[in-house]
Amino acid sequence: MNTKSFVQNLNQITAALISMTPAQREVVHQSIRESQVELPTNELFQPIFDTSSSCPHCTSTHLRKWGKSGETQRYRCNHCAKTFNIKTKTPLARLRKCHLWEEYARCMELKLTLRQAASICHINLKTAFLWRHRFLMANTAKTQDKLSGIIEVDEFFMAYSEKGSKKLTRGRKARKRGGDADKRTKDDQVAILLSIDRSKHIVNKVLAADTASEIEANFEPHILSNSVLCSDGAWPYVNIAEHKNCVHKRLINGKNRVIENIYHIQTVNGAITHFKSWVVGKMKGVATKYLPHYLTWFRESSAKYDFQQILLAAYR
């Protein structure tokens, strides 16, 4: 088919789709999905690697094929003489049973527990734990959204946790079944910043400390100028609004809950409640060192955990 014929056919298809009702478009979409042939995992890897093929050890582009390990192609660098495959030095390195990864990604999409995912995929519990954090690690590296329009922001605290560790490093006694952090001791708490705009874009950060400088450094780069910033009475947000030329709506507890019938922080407070109930309730608490992974999972929970998207994130 020549270019002219292709363009004509494409225009006809586009016009037909525009004239359809939403229900008819959904039927077409489902038909296309059912007709798609699932590619083996290694065939999904290769095009991603080929777009920027270079040695992960020295970044040289002078490579040659060096046999296979199972179905995975290996390479040898002509510059540093090291061998590698397309997963080397990515979050997916040294992971096996890649034919089960798409099924495991669906388990993550449903936010299943480790035992549920391990049972469905017929893998060991330790393997399920490793896969979860490698997949989350790949997505944690992605750049977070920019916030605009009406932006709500607040910070909250969770108990510092060393869940899974055999020794406690802070010299305190273990809290029975997780317990609550001592609100009088800042060292026993972890500060987390969460912000959301009305388009449902989310920015979340684990703060090194609950200080003005930490809040400004982790939040200010993610908001666009000339937005409307809704926060509680904390003073760091006053400086941020001034620096970014934003209108600032301060909702001080006990005085104002809603300003002008539209400006509030109830959406972000609801998201905080949902995150805490999910982590503490369904996940039975998580170690503090893994909090960024679970914040990423929470941030992207509205998007499907498409395995191909995970691969793209791993190679960025």
276 vs 71, higher pLDDT: 276
User: What is the tens place of the pLDDT at every residue in 260-298?
Assistant: 889 999 999 999 999 999 888 888 888 999 999 899 888
Which residues are paired to 249 by β-bridges? 230
Structure tokens at 61: 């582009």
Query: Is the C-alpha dihedral spanning 300, 304, 305, 311 positive or negative?
Result: negative
| pTM exceeding the 0.75 threshold for the entire prediction | no
Is 90 exposed, middle or buried, given 0-12, 13-18 or 19+ CB atoms closer than 10 A? buried
304 vs 89, higher pLDDT: 89
The predicted structure's pLDDT at residue 111: 83
Backbone angles phi, psi at 37, to 5 degrees: -90, 130
Place of tokens 């929970």: 301
The predicted structure's pLDDT at residue 143: 66
Going by C-alpha positions, the residue among 68, 56, 39 that lies closest to residue 314 is 56
User: What is the tens place of the pLDDT at every residue in 17-47?
Assistant: 888 887 777 777 777 666 554 555 556 666 6
User: CA angle at residue 194 from 193 to 200, to 5 degrees?
Assistant: 160
Place of tokens 């708490």: 189
Task: Among 41-50, 227-236, 252-261, name the most confident range.
Answer: 227-236
Going by C-alpha positions, the residue among 118, 124, 55 that lies closest to residue 84 is 55
d(CA 87, CA 45): 8
Share of the chain above pLDDT 90, in %: 35
Q: Is the pLDDT of residue 147 over 80?
A: yes
Q: Is the pLDDT of residue 229 over 90?
A: yes
User: What is the tens place of the pLDDT at every residue in 165-183?
Assistant: 888 777 667 666 555 555 5
* Beta carbons within 8 Å of 14's beta carbon, 6+ residues apart: none
Tell me the domains of the chain and their CATH numbers.
39-89 (no CATH), 150-163+184-299 (3.30.420.10)
Question: 282-296: b or e for each residue (b if 16 or more CB lie within 10 Å)?
Answer: ebebbebebbbbbbb
User: What is the tens place of the pLDDT at every residue in 201-214?
Assistant: 899 999 998 899 99
d(CA 284, CA 279): 6
The predicted structure's pLDDT at residue 184: 47
Q: Is the pLDDT of residue 195 over 90?
A: yes
List, in sequence order, every beta strand (DSSP E) within the chain: 63-69, 72-77, 83-85, 150-159, 189-197, 202-206, 228-231, 247-250
By DSSP bridging, strand 247-250 and strand 228-231 are: parallel
Structure tokens at 33: 């999905």
d(CA 260, CA 316): 43
Contact 41, 99 (CB under 8 A): yes
